[in-house]
Amino acid sequence: MTTSSRSIFRIALPLVLLLLLGACATPHPNPRDPWEGFNRPVFRFNDGLDRAVIKPAAKGYDWLVPANLQVVIGNFFANLSDLYISLNNLLQGKPKEAGGDLARVLINSSLGIGGLVDAATGMGFEKHDEDFGQTLAVWGVESGPFVVLPVIGPRTVRDSFSLAADWEGDPLSWVKPDLLHYSLSGLHQVDKRAGLLPGDKVIEAGAIDKYSYIRDAYLQHRRYEIYDGAPPPEDDEK
Amino acid sequence: MKKLAILLFTLLLAAPVRAAVDTSTPEGMIKGLSDEVLTILKTDPDLKKGDVKSAVAQIDAKVLTHFNFRHMTSLAMGKEWRKATPAQQDTLVKEFKDLLVRTYSNALTVYRNPTIVFKTSRVTPTDADALVRTQVLQPGNTPADIDYHLEKTPAGWQVFDVVVAGVSLVTNYRDYFTQEVSRGGVEGAIASMRNKNETQDKGK
């Protein structure tokens, strides 16, 4: 059922986005967030889901799994992602980085015992963070407005459309049988969420309005990822 | 002899390393501030129990004196800053400082025993602004970039922006403030910060 559940997403996603095009305007529209009226309720829904299910699961995981084992689990998933990261670096015209990512996969899969140990970083092959949305951005595709997708969370329109490619490129999606696929995906999500637990405190301390705080942090962080950590300064008075 | 060694060792550990932060160069200053932060993170006894209050107080006293909160507030407000009267500006700075101290300290106390690597530093030709880029390494975590923007003042270099993984802790508020001011004026923005600060203080 793996394929059919993903194709539902693939059909539903553009539909949601099309609906948004007709969404009503807010009184003081933010040029970067014209769909705020739609986004806020979805954000509230996602936040509720996180509080009720995902965060408690991540907390339980964090309590149950020793820190060293968490590192190993994180390494395993990071190794799986490096092949697709390499492809994206290649598509972005960065053969040197793409080669480094490939070297990471080879080293960590062998010396690093199937990816459980990150041996490559110590050997000078830095971990990168790339996805198809970043590749599209490098190709000159505009981000489009900010959008909060149900369950998935904050995105831009460009990065919503690129999700389908990211799913296909994730080796976890190739895993059979389904039970193993869902278990691994679940573990991956919970591990990722557990890694974000300390960040919750920062948001809680800093955000006056959680929605706009997360929106603006997401957009800033996305720019930073697209420019590989060195975005040009933004116009001060926009 | 052994006792003496232990005594000396204890004294050494207990003696506060009071090297004043060198504010004459941007990189020197951030190095000094980072050392202060690392010492606080390593030695604060409450931190291991998950209580960040005393670490936050120490970071406030030793590190944040080198931050220019007025500049930070005007940067966060963007073009709304000029709509505020001088008295309102003072209040904005006071409330924003409270908010930022809490955010920045909480961001730092995420780390327990980090290593801080200095990447590059850039000083503008006029020697008025500088950017110091650092990376915080912690085993098992992805490295976090923390960039500091500094400016030269008569009192030495001062920090006016902190950027964590591309997210400015300062300009991240700009769209929010623009919206607040258009909705409830400068007083509205002040009230929203004051309200946030009060609930946070009560919650602690």
Residues 135-194 of A with CB under 8 A from B: none
In this predicted structure, what is the pLDDT of residue A15? 62
Pick the CATH number of B2-202 from 3.30.870.10, 3.30.390.50, 3.10.450.710, 3.50.50.60: 3.10.450.710
Contact residues, chain A, for B183 at CB < 8 Å: 28
Q: How many CA atoms within 13 Å lie on the side-chain side of A173?
A: 16
In this predicted structure, what is the pLDDT of residue A20? 59
Q: Number of A:B CB contacts under 8 A?
A: 83
Side chain identity, residue B199? T
In this predicted structure, what is the pLDDT of residue B190? 96
**Mean pLDDT of the A115-138 span:** 94
Residue A214 pLDDT greater than 90, yes or no: yes
Minimum mean pLDDT range among A109-113, A149-153, A163-167, B32-36: B32-36
Ordered by start, the domain boundaries in chain B are 2-202
What is the C-alpha end-to-end distance of chain A, expressed in Å? Answer: 48
Residue B134, H or E segment: strand B129-137
Q: Which of B140, B166, B176 sits opposite A220 (nearest CB)?
A: B166
Residue A1 pLDDT greater than 60, yes or no: no
**Mean pLDDT of the A15-28 span:** 57
**Three-state DSSP state, A54:** helix
Residue A180 pLDDT greater than 50, yes or no: yes
User: Please, what is the Cα angle at A227 between A222 and A229, to 5 degrees?
Assistant: 85
**Mean pLDDT of the A211-235 span:** 90
pTM above 0.80, yes or no: yes
> What value does the mean pLDDT of chain A take?
88
A237–B139 C-beta distance less than 8 A: no
Q: How many Å lie between the alpha carbon of B63 and the closest alpha carbon of chain A?
A: 18
A193 contacts: CB under 8 Å, gap ≥ 6: A50, A54, A55, A57, A58
Q: How many Å lie between the alpha carbon of B107 and the closest alpha carbon of chain A?
A: 6
In this predicted structure, what is the pLDDT of residue B203? 59
Rounded to two decimals, the ipTM of the complex is 0.82
A63 contacts: CB under 8 Å, gap ≥ 6: none
Residue A26 pLDDT greater than 80, yes or no: no
In this predicted structure, what is the pLDDT of residue A85? 96
Q: Which of A208, A223, A236 sits opposite B192 (nearest CB)?
A: A208
- Which residue numbers in chain B have pLDDT < 50? 11-19
